[in-house]
Amino acid sequence: MTVVPLPSALVNRSLPIQFSYTDGLRSNQLWLTETGDMFARCHTVCIASLTLAAATPFAANAEDSASPPANAISSPEIAQELAVAAERFLSTVDERLQAKFLFQDAERGNFHFFPIARRGVALKELSVGQRQLGYALLSASLSHVGNQKALGIMSLGDYLQETDEVPNVYRNSDQYYFSIFGTPSPEGTWGYRVEGFHLSVNVTVVQGQWISVTPSFFGVIPATVPDGPRKGLKVLKSETELGRALARSFTEKQGKRGFGTIPDFLTETVGGLITGNQRRIERGRPRGLPAEKMTHEQRELLMKLIRVHVGRIRKELADQDLSRIDDAGIDKIHFQWSGGLEPGEPHHYIIQGPTFLIEYDNTQDNANHVHCVYRDFDNDFGDALLNHYRKHHHHKSE
């Protein structure tokens, strides 16, 4: 792989920059530390061509029901807005920059949060007007708060370029890539990804109606900016402080189930997360204290924390997802905190319900480096929606 760094073009504002790369396709076997070093025993695999089995066309029996999948997030209006935003963005981008891929390309299910080479078109390659259309596409699936957090994460690449002892080309504000999978249309099946260091927004639209917004990854370094004009900025403040408040409220008896041990960084995690960047996660046995063993106030605090994570996505979609979480049973949700309870002490938590998992860690760089991811056990990358549609419909995707 050949990596060609491009110069920064930012003036007065932190906006995302880019690098270009030739040949090959990154895969989940490319594991780097967030300083760009390779983990032991890990390697890069370049793949000439792959397709996702989940996107293979499937002809169904005409007698099958055409009802929507259970608990699906549905909004034809938002699906149309997303399609319009994607079409406007694509219409301005030179095809040679390869912003568009087949819907069945394996890259659609390949997400990561490390500072690594990516496919798609980067902000650095775009004009000011094209960038604004890219930002419009990003914000179309996020809430106002979620969009501000995303832009804050992206902007901190400039801070890292100035403060890292050895600047890493991938930890840079313009190293965020836009990838469109399939052909955006008001009634079509397609998806898009906006991804770079510490940010991965993945959206799948099925038949212009059903929408998947996971995996959704937000991370930040520094978690608290220690100096400079933005000293004290905490992009993911609520995700940290609400989790700590809930853990601090545990009684000694509750703590026996609610407290765990921080997973070993090198042997039990990818970049601090147990779930890492796996294409699909399994439910497994929930860790921690179940909500049914919490007080009313603790359950309220737990749900407030969940709403913060889910609420990074657009409100109309988040509300449906929260209803689904509620219907599956709040008492069945588990919370486990590991590590210290004071600021500056490494810590980690997991929230698991019947339908979802949220994982958070702040264990690196003197506990000033946050990762958090929101996953759907069945419907990451729209898997459940696509399976349902293949079963009940004649489906052809580009």
Quick: pLDDT tens for 333-390.
999 999 999 999 999 999 999 999 999 999 999 999 999 999 999 999 999 899 888 8
Using only C-alpha atoms, the chain has a radius of gyration, in whole angstroms, of: 21
Q: Assign 76 to helix, strand or coil.
A: helix
pLDDT for the residue 13: 32
Report the pLDDT value the prediction gives residue 393, as an integer from 0 to 100: 66
- Residue 369, Cβ neighbours under 10 Å: how many? 20
pLDDT at 66: 52
Say what angle helices 144-163 and 128-140 make with each other, to 10 degrees: 130
Top mean pLDDT of 47-56, 63-72, 200-209 is at: 200-209
Mean pLDDT of all residues in 66-71: 64
Handedness of CA 98, 32, 236, 331 (dihedral sign): positive
Has residue 60 got a pLDDT over 60? Answer: no
Work out the pLDDT band at 261, boundaries 50, 70, 90. very high
Q: Percent of the chain at pLDDT above 70?
A: 81
Q: Is the pLDDT of residue 65 over 50?
A: no
Q: Is the pLDDT of residue 31 over 50?
A: no
- Which residues on neighbouring strands pair with residue 220, listed in sequence order? 370
Mean pLDDT over the full length of the chain: 85
